Amino acid sequence: MLAILGLEDNAYGVTIRDEIGRATGHVRTLGSIYKSLERLEQKRLVSSRIGDPLGVRGGRRRTYYSFRAEGAAALEQSLNGLRTLSQELEPRWRLG
């Protein structure tokens, strides 16, 4: 969801995969990206729209993804949970 937020109007499968790879250093398959996007859409956290065909012969239409209000609330809740957990556990990894 963070990749969609960061990409704004340019969030489609390939750019989302590339943004996740850039930020994490982990390569994801497009299949796993699309499966995750499908789940997020089923949960009504993101929405999709079909764009215009690409300006090349045989150009395909891209499916663009955007945040819904429910997605923003879920992301905020998740990030707050991660912050709380990391603050509680930080002394443990600093000792090691």
5 Cβ contact partners less than 8 Å away, ≥ 6 residues apart: 67, 75
List the domain boundaries for the chain.
2-95
- pLDDT tens for each residue of 27-75: 899 999 999 999 999 999 999 999 987 777 767 889 999 999 999 999 9
DSSP state of 8: G
Q: Which of 6, 3, 8 is nearest to 66 (CA)?
A: 8
CB environment 22-33: b (16+ within 10 A), e (fewer):
eeeeeeeeeeeb
Domain 2-95: give its CATH code: 1.10.10.10
- pLDDT tens for each residue of 64-94: 999 999 999 999 999 999 999 988 887 776 6
